[in-house]
Each structure stands twice: as structure tokens, then as C-alpha cells.
């Protein structure tokens, strides 16, 4: 109730400000994400959940002179089968600055389109289900051939019993032509609670991936074809317990797409990683993942498709079946007098 009241007051103030300003646009957007993800991992003694639910996220705000944007809204999660009307409701409230090659966000804003391209070895794909927003800041510089961002996501506020936690990282890509170089890095800091119990320790946990790749574009009969490879290094430390550990490995990616169909293969070899925010399969020293995708729904504002995944490790095959549908509508109204 308190959160809704605060958002309502902020909306009124924004509309009042827009009434007495020039070159303003009132904007609105509605985002829907429905998903089902069935994971069969028991053969390798890993957790085998089924994620089934939907997210609904309306936003409203003001665009000032095509540079400054203010948005407020909510992002509500409903897990099917739950007895609650909504299992989790997060605020969406942020300021965005966008001019020429520079973009800056501060607040609670969607990660979609900003850092959702991180490899799942570093940041698990379940974040799109259960933590779709960044709560913090992000800066991005982008040109035709180059993109770089820097961000911080505050994931836990310290209290007497709760630990302070946050992630900070950077990622980017340089693609002057057929060749490209990309990098992804982040660090997760798990601090202490204000009244820390015995056995609680500070944790630093993060990773870096470098990818050297080739984008064949439409040089083949396929719609898209990319291959890349590079090192993966993680930094893991539980202070006063383990010291700094730096597992290393090598990872390759292959992606091919043709019309409604796509194939992605990921192969990793090296030391096992224990990343708190990453995919658990990368604790293995050798791992291969094959994703077969079909996207029968693809229109201007809606996209839906299936992905059938196979996980190869320890001479065992695990499987996963997923369907995801995203729908977005948006509009604006000029408020000039």
C-alpha cells in the first residue's frame, strides 16, 4: 500500500511538471513475459525445477526534449499454482539520459536489452524470471562498431539480519566488420549483516569471459552464423576461509539461424567454477550444451518460441524444454501547448 501511494504521488508530480514544460511527451508501455521452463537435471544430481509463470509490467512516464526520460511502474510476477494473487511485485522507477552515443540509467529499470546478453555461465538465465530489473545505475557508450557499458546492481540492503549484496560489472563489443571482440565481466560482493552470526564470512565471487569471433552474416544460405571462442576466468574468495581461487577454462560458441529455426552450441573445458550467480553446470571440468530453437510467433510487438536443450557432462545427457513469449506495446502523446 505504501509503495503504491508513493508511485501515485510521483506520477502526479511528473504530470504537473509536464503541464508547464515544453517539448514533452507522455509515454506508456506494457510488457508481458510468459514462460515455462522444465529442467530434467536429476541424472547429474542437480536441482531439477520447473519454472512456470508470467510477468506483467506496465510503465508510464515523461520524455523531455528527447533526452531526459522519467518512468514509473511495477513488475509483477505470478507463478502458476501459487495461492497468491502475485508472488512478487517490484517497483519500476528510473531516470534515463540518452543523447548521441551516451545513455545513462539510475533507478530500478529493466535489464532486458542492456545486460541480458551476458553468458549464462556468468549470470544465470533464471534472472529474467525472478530478477528482471537492475536496481542501481548503468552507463553505456555506443557507436556503429563499438559498445561498452558499466553497471552496478544493488541486490541486498544491510539490516541486522540481512546481508549487503551487490554486483558491479562491465561488458562490451567491438565489431569493425566480420571479426568481433566481446568481453563480459562482473563481481558479486556478499557482505555481512549488521549483526553477523558466527560462521558468516565476506564473499567475493565473479568472472570474466573474452570472446574472439566471426560473424558470417548472410554470407551463407543461413540468416545468421557466428562462431567465437575465448578464455573464462573466475575469482572466488570466502574471506578468512579459502583465500583467492582463480579457476580457468576455455569456452566456444556456435550460433546458426534460418527462418524460424536456430541452433546454438556451447562447449566448455577447464577447471570447475563455483559462481553464485552463474549456471551450475559450469562446476564441471568439461561440459557441452546444445540448444535447438523454434520461433513460430514473430511479429512487430510479440515473439514466442520453444527451446529444447541438451546438457552433456559426466557421460550423461540431461534435458530441458522451455517456451517463452514476450509482448510489448507502447505509445506516446505530445504534451506541447
224-244, pLDDT tens digit by residue? 999 999 999 999 999 888 889
Task: Look at residue 23 and tell me whether its pLDDT is greater than 80.
Answer: no
| pTM score | 0.89
**Which 3 state secondary structure label does DSSP give 201?**
coil
- Is the domain 2-334 a CATH 1.10.287 member? no
Burial (0-12, 13-18, 19+ Cβ within 10 Å), 57? buried
User: How much is the pLDDT for 218?
Assistant: 76
**What is the Cα 74 distance to its own chain's centre?**
17
Q: In this structure, which long-range contacts are made by residues 271-276, counting pairs with CB atoms below 8 Å and at least 24 apart in sequence? A: 271/247, 272/247, 273/121, 273/207, 273/232, 273/234, 273/236, 273/247, 273/249, 274/205, 274/234, 274/236, 274/247, 275/121, 275/122, 275/205, 275/206, 275/207, 275/234, 275/236, 276/188, 276/190, 276/203, 276/205
DSSP class of residue 123 equals S
User: How much is the pLDDT for 165?
Assistant: 95
DSSP strand pairing (133-142 vs 146-156)? antiparallel
75-104, pLDDT tens digit by residue? 999 999 999 999 999 999 999 999 999 999
User: How much is the pLDDT for 127?
Assistant: 94
156-167, pLDDT tens digit by residue? 999 999 999 999
What end-to-end distance do the CA atoms of the chain give, in Å? 35
User: How much is the pLDDT for 217?
Assistant: 82
User: How much is the pLDDT for 81?
Assistant: 95
Task: Look at residue 3 and tell me whether its pLDDT is greater than 80.
Answer: no
295-326, pLDDT tens digit by residue? 999 998 999 999 999 999 989 999 999 999 99
66 band by pLDDT with thresholds 50, 70 and 90: confident
User: How much is the pLDDT for 6?
Assistant: 55
Q: What percent of the chain has pLDDT over 90?
A: 82
Q: What percent of the chain has pLDDT over 70?
A: 93
User: How much is the pLDDT for 240?
Assistant: 80
Question: What's the whole-number mean pLDDT along residues 125-139?
Answer: 96
Amino acid at each position: 500500500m505504501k509503495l503504491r501511494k508513493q508511485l501515485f504521488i510521483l506520477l502526479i508530480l511528473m504530470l504537473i511538471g509536464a503541464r508547464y514544460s515544453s517539448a514533452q511527451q507522455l509515454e506508456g508501455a506494457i510488457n508481458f513475459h510468459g514462460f515455462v521452463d522444465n529442467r530434467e537435471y536429476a541424472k547429474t544430481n542437480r536441482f531439477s525445477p520447473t519454472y512456470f509463470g508470467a510477468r506483467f509490467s506496465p510503465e508510464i512516464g515523461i520524455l523531455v526534449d528527447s533526452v531526459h526520460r522519467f518512468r514509473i511502474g511495477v513488475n509483477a510476477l505470478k507463478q502458476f499454482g501459487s495461492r497468491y494473487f502475485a508472488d512478487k511485485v517490484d517497483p519500476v522507477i528510473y531516470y534515463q539520459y540518452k543523447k548521441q552515443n551516451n545513455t545513462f540509467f539510475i533507478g530500478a529499470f529493466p535489464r532486458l536489452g542492456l545486460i541480458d546478453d551476458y553468458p549464462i555461465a556468468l549470470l544465470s538465465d533464471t534472472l529474467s524470471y525472478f530478477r528482471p530489473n537492475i536496481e542501481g545505475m548503468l552507463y553505456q557508450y555506443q557507436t556503429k562498431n563499438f559498445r561498452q557499458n558499466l553497471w552496478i546492481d544493488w541486490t541486498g540492503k544491510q539490516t541486522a539480519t540481512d546481508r549487503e549484496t551487490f554486483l558491479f560489472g562491465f561488458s562490451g563489443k567491438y565489431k569493425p566488420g566480420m571479426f568481433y571482440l566481446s568481453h563480459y565481466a562482473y563481481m558479486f560482493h556478499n557482505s555481512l549483516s549488521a549483526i553477523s552470526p558466527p560462521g558468516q564470512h565476506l564473499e567475493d565471487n565473479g568472472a570474466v569471459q573474452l570472446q574472439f569471433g566471426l560473424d558470417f552474416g548472410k554470407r551463407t544460405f543461413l540468416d545468421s552464423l557466428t562462431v567465437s571462442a575465448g578464455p573464462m576466468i573466475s575469482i572466488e574468495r570466502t574471506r578468512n576461509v579459502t583465500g583467492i581461487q582463480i579457476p580457468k577454462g576455455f569456452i566456444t560458441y556456435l550460433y546458426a539461424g534460418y527462418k524460424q529455426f536456430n541452433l546454438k552450441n556451447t562447449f566448455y573445458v577447464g577447471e570447475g567454477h563455483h559462481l553464485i550467480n552463474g549456471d551450475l553446470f559450469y562446476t564441471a571440468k568439461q561440459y557441452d550444451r546444445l540448444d535447438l530453437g523454434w520461433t513460430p510467433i514473430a511479429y512487430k510487438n510479440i515473439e514466442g518460441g520453444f527451446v529444447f536443450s541438451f546438457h552433456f557432462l559426466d557421460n550423461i545427457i540431461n534435458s530441458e524444454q522451455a517456451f517463452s513469449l514476450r509482448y510489448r506495446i507502447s505509445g506516446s502523446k505530445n504534451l506541447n501547448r
